[in-house]
Structure 1
Amino acid sequence: MSTPPAVAWAAADPYAAALRTGRGPLFLRRGDGWLLPLEVERWCARADPVDRAVLDRCEGAVLDVGCGPGRLVAELAARGRTVLGIDVSEAAVEHTGRLGGQALRRSVFEPLPGAGRWGTVLLMDGNLGIGGDPRALLDRVARLLCPGGLLIAETVAVDVDERLEVQVVDGAGPGTGGGGAFPWARLGTPALLRYAARAGWRTDGQWTAGARRFVALRSRSASSSAEPPNSTAVISSQRARKPSVDIPVADR
């Protein structure tokens, strides 16, 4: 039986080690040896001016999908905002807690608190790639948001739309990976806008700051927020190892 993709990422020892030390090098490596550097030092630092400008746009209660070490969750919590991070990595969840943020060890495709009532969902730092299927991810986010809710996503700085099988590694040499391969995706802004338009999202803005690119999307004003029984969207058998949290969702 193959390892579920969320579990493969969570089991990647180089990723956990990098988050605990706050530094890389760390890469996503494709089967042909192609390497995508991961910005561990930036992720483990406090929110920078580009991050803070993104967070200024957030509405209502905020769900940070793939929160990593928690800089965005901690910044929003310090502002007094209602915010929850989710991540499949235990090291990421622990780091978020140490910064003063609240996070659950859980996949976005698993049942989550507040489904259908979040004001904003964040997909930053390449997290549009989660699951390797942008259509499924956008559909899942729409179910998490309240009607007319806001998705803020960071896109790749070039026009790309690709699916990958990748592994987390801490160097280019053999034997440096810590977990199995898992599906990932890379989307530039044009590709994200195409997927979003087909799924009924409305573009609410797009901008570039600090060499990073972002898109804000508005969900349909009427959407189904119910969790379907035995949802086929669940791509990981992993369950949270911390108790569920009933997040109070702020009014928009």
Structure 2
Amino acid sequence: MSTRSRSRARSAPPAVPWAGAGPYALALRTGRGPLFLRRTDGWLLPLEVERWCARADPVDRAVLDRCEGAVLDVGCGPGRLVAELAARGRTVLGIDVSEAAVDHTVRLGGQALRRSVFEPLPGEGRWGTVLLMDGNVGIGGDPRALLDRVARLLRPGGLLIAETAVVDVDERSEVQVVDGTDVDTGGHGAFPWARLGTPALLRYAGRAGWRTAGQWTTGRRRFVALRSRSPRSASSSAEPANSTALISSQRARKPSADRPVADR
């Protein structure tokens, strides 16, 4: 394998069966559902595709008002939050494993990178705020592992803002993304996911050393703000988290696996 091929292989997103084609990508491209997470027992959780593909609403904007420093939107989807922050002149990067999501974000004028939160990312240890909106606190199906990963992405004392489930739930399961017309695929394309209400997230966060910075409900949506309790060592040469060095340019462009927008 050539050096270039090895580089491409290392930086390519992991195989995520639901993210490339099929119902999820189609819904993001059209901006319409229906779309669901389906558990193995057949239970369906409706996904709010139309809201995700619209511009940031007043609830979103109030959340973004709380952001500090440079912002990393994990699981940015079609990019409404990235676009809103970019329009405010904020340093912001979205990441998503879906190429359709990244493309949509870039078309809105935001910066986005096709990558998993568990892969190497630009600006590690220097982000001022990490967002886990729209249920993305469930990414990976292991809340403790996700919280540990986010702590490594944030600067010392950085802020995590997470949107939690509207009910008190602490659930881990295998799910599939479906449009409601899919036949049973026998688990093909299933991936681990978690659903957490606010009490469950606060329990996991407390055990992992996070400090609660706030919790609130707006409309039918619930949020938690967490701050890392223990400062971590950082390179003395690293720029502050709100430095534009985290992102090389605010000009919208399509990232690739070989040239992430904010790698240094």
Indicate the residue corresponding to 1:209 in structure 2.
218
2:261 alignment partner, one of 238, 245, 252: 245
Correspondence 1:98-247 to 2 at 5 A: 98-171=107-180, 173-174=182-183, 180-223=189-232, 241=257, 243-246=259-262
Q: Distance in 2 between matches of 1:173 and 1:33?
A: 11
Q: What is the CA deviation profile of residues 31-75 of structure 1, one whole-angstrom value per residue up to 9, with x for unaligned ones?
A: 111000000000000000000000000000000000000000000
Q: CA RMSD in A?
A: 2.2
- SS of corresponding position for 2:134: coil
1:73 and 2:82 aligned: yes
- What CA distance in whole angstroms lies between the structure 2 residues aligned with 1:6 and 1:160? 29
Q: Secondary structure at the match of 2:174?
A: strand
Task: Using the TM superposition, give the Cα deviation of residue 136 of structure 1 relative to its aligned residue in structure 2, in angstroms.
Answer: 0.2
Aligned counterparts of 2:115 and 2:53: Cα–Cα separation in 1: 20
Unaligned stretches of 5+ in structure 1?
Answer: 227-239
Q: In the alignment, which of 54, 79, 101 is matched to residue 63 of structure 2?
A: 54
Could you tell me how far 1:172 is from its partner in structure 2? 5.0
SS of the residue aligned with 2:176?
strand
Which TM-score applies when normalising by structure 1? 0.87
Structure having greater relative contact order (Cα 8 Å, sep ≥ 6): 1
TM-score by length of 2: 0.83
| Displacement of 1:247 | 6.6
Match of 1:229 in 2: none
8 Å contact kept, 1:155–1:213: yes
Gaps of 5+ in 2: 1-12, 236-255
From the CA coordinates, give the structure whose radius of gyration is larger.
Answer: 2
Of 67, 90, 103, which residue of structure 1 is paired with 2:99? 90
**Counterpart residue type for residue 74 of structure 2:** V
Deviates more, 1:166-175 or 1:110-119: 166-175
Could you tell me how far apart the structure 1 residues matched to 2:186 and 2:89 are?
39
CA distance in 2, matches of 1:203, 1:178: 37
Percent of counterpart pairs with the same letter?
Answer: 85
Count of aligned pairs between the two proteins: 233
Counterpart AA for 1:170: D
